[in-house]
Amino acid sequence: MSKKLQLNQCLHSKFKTSFAKSSVRRLALLFASSTFLVLALPTINLPGSKLLAQNAVSQDLDAAMLYQLGVTRYNRRDLQSAEYAFRQALQRDSNIGLARNYLGNILMEQNRLDLAVQEYGEAIRLIPNFGDAYYNLGLALQKQGQKEAAIAAYRQALAANPKMAMAQYNLGVVLYEQEQRQEAIAAYQQAINLDGNNANAYFNLAIALQQEGQVEQAIAAYRQTVKLNPENTAAYNNLGALLVLQDQSAEAIKVYQQAIRQNSKNAVAYYNLGVILYNQGDLKAANSAFKRARQEYGEQGNTEQTAKIDEMIQKITEHLTPKKSQPTQPTQTTTPTPNNSDVVLPTPEMQTPEAEKNSTDVPKTVEPKP
């Protein structure tokens, strides 16, 4: 028996035995992940009006017609009717692997994850080199929190189709969640090689590089992120913070100013800009930035941060207020010597990737090549 067939059977067996595990525990894992992670998804495209498989799906004419009816209804987003048609087709011919893949897609969109995993496993059993089914299986397992199994599924998808950028991207996400950052970096880089317009891949790559201490490479990845997605607030904030740490304060100021132009409610950008200006001795400009940061944090209900900013504003106000001269011993107003012991630049705001969980994103439905 070949190693590949053994791995397929091992995966299939693992998926079937995992269905009975507690849904309460799985939901808790997903909830815990969503508490700390931010959505960062690949783009998943539907095949449009493609209705016919490249090969006959069944020798049973009625089964083939029911399958095509299911595809038509699926592409029209009539999922309930599509599911019925696919199940009718499988009643006549249980070996239509493509129908199993479509059923898995429908079930995953309905968050019926255990059943989706089962259908993808059947699709893979029937079509062992079905890269799209392995990819979809990886998505379902990732949503279930079965990360090691998801990694195995994504790697099988890439073995079947090495150019599947989405599989590389999601592989990077899961590896990062498993704290295998060097492998995640490699996966993100490969995803970028396959799709140079994936802003999320650049963003996630930058975070992993930053955490690995590769600051210059992280800066480059953040720059590419904001170039592709100017609305990524966290990327601006992290980029500015890294530039300050690299003693590139002037460049950091430009980054934060650009961040504010993109999002006038960006409290972190106002605060970090105030820190830099304070440390450069530009107290009036710093005071203005801090006041705006305080306003935004106040609207967010962040009392801890507003209290910290109040202290900074008070300190600046004291320095900017002219001192009254004493008759016998005149004094002069001095500007404070700013240093990082007065104000510490906050740790870059870390926002990290999360696995697929947006109901508007759907799994792959491309037919396998002959």
- Interval 78-127: pLDDT, tens: 999 999 999 999 999 999 999 999 999 999 999 999 999 999 999 999 99
* Cα 338 from Cα 357, distance rounded (Å): 46
3-state SS, residue 37: strand
Confidence tier at 329 by pLDDT (50, 70, 90) = low
Q: Which residue has the tokens 């059947």?
A: 122
The answer, yes or no, to whether residue 13 has pLDDT greater than 50, is no
Q: Model's pTM, two decimal places? A: 0.75
* Cα 316 from Cα 338, distance rounded (Å): 10
Of residues 300 and 355, more confidence is placed in 300
Let me know: does 175 contact 190? Beta carbons within 8 Å.
Answer: no
The answer, yes or no, to whether residue 19 has pLDDT greater than 90, is no
Q: What percent of the chain has pLDDT over 90?
A: 66
- What pLDDT score does 243 carry? 94
The answer, yes or no, to whether residue 5 has pLDDT greater than 60, is no
Per-residue model confidence as pLDDT tens digits over 157-173: 999 999 999 999 999 99
Point out the least confidently predicted range of 145-154, 275-284, 323-332: 323-332
The chain-wide mean pLDDT, for the chain, equals 79
* Cα 368 from Cα 351, distance rounded (Å): 36
With 0-12 / 13-18 / 19 or more C-beta atoms within 10 angstroms meaning exposed / middle / buried, residue 195 is middle
The answer, yes or no, to whether residue 201 has pLDDT greater than 60, is yes
- What pLDDT score does 326 carry? 56
Confidence tier at 58 by pLDDT (50, 70, 90) = confident
Chain Cα centroid distance, residue 182: 17
